[in-house]
A and B are shown apart, each in its own frame.
Chain A
Amino acid sequence: MKWRLFIPFIIFIGLGIFLWRGLSLDPSEIPSALLNKPVPTFSLPNLKLNDDVDGVDEVVFSNDDLKGHVSIVNVWATWCASCQIEHPVLMNIARQAKGEKGFKGLVVFGLNYKDNRDDALRWLQQLGDPYTKVGFDGDGRAAIDWGVYGTPETFVIDREGVIRYRQVGPVTQEVWEKTLAPLVEKLRRMS
């Protein structure tokens, strides 16, 4: 009969577990509805107008750029404070992608969300440019197709152009090392 005395304690422990779990959940971070689905069809003008490429006076960033290699697409804007915070980490990722053997083959793209083109170009000039291409999404409609609801957001896309992960919030060094880098490595190994 003594075990009955422990019922309140058991309920307390049970409740404690639920509440503890609840503390680490963030309901405002919604998972991407496009997880494991192909990237939505899009075509945006490149932020940087390339006039030194022969015969091409404007470059386009579209689905075609996301096939054949593992990609990271980072949604950012100059008016977004967190984007400035994550910028050095992106520069680091871009550097690794270009040089070291670990992430060679990874391509970093940007999606400039509801921004001013001149401001964005100036921002990249001042802070550095980690992006191979930056799609200029002035009215934010392409971002809606991607299910973007805030900045910054970062997508990891595999060789087939399928979205494998969506990071909500800035890419910190920890997020890169613990979550994104292992995933990129895994996707690179897949044939």
Chain B
Amino acid sequence: MRRNVRHMLIRNVLSSLLMIVFMCWSVATFADSRDLYEFDTPAQQTQFQEILTRLRCLVCQNQNLADSNAPLARDLRDEIYKKFKAGEDREMIMSYLTDRYGDFVLYRPPLQKNTYILWFGPLLFLFIGFVVLFFIVCRRDKKIS
């Protein structure tokens, strides 16, 4: 075929190949803990993943153990997997972690005495805001009438 057509063909093939390589590469980097551990049933895998989402990565503290790539997160996932396979339930696994790392390791803060402010604080402030608003409006009405 003519030279410039052949060049175009080669260029197209090469760029397509390059694109495929990059796509595969980017898919591989999205591979997560789901792909590394084996389970007897898909339900077990879901259960395991669910436990991981309830635990905080202490290195990247805004991520849970399912998402984080920190070395400690990987170690903890391994330990949790071992325990899960050994038949430990969610509560036992969570206590294993809170015994060592405290409540902070729970991704969702537990509802207990020292976290009431955390849970109810925003609602409380909203309520105070409404009360203040109410009084201001009342006073304005009184002034008008």
Which residues of A pack against B, CB within 8 Å? 27-28, 30-34, 40, 114, 139-141, 144-147, 149-150
Contact = CB atoms under 8 A, between A and B. Distances in A.
Interface residues of B, number: 14
Contacts of A32: 102
B99 A33 contact: yes
Nearest to A139: B75
Contact of B101 (A28, A140, A141, A149): A149
Contact of B61 (A28, A34, A141): A28
B38 interface: no
A79 to B, nearest CB: 10
B79 interface: yes
Given A30-B101, A30-B102, 15 more contacts: A31-B102, A32-B102, A33-B100, A33-B102, A114-B71, A139-B75, A140-B71, A140-B75, A144-B76, A145-B100, A146-B100, A147-B100, A147-B101, A149-B58, A149-B72
Contacts of A150: 58-59, 72
A147 B75 contact: no
A144 B58 contact: no
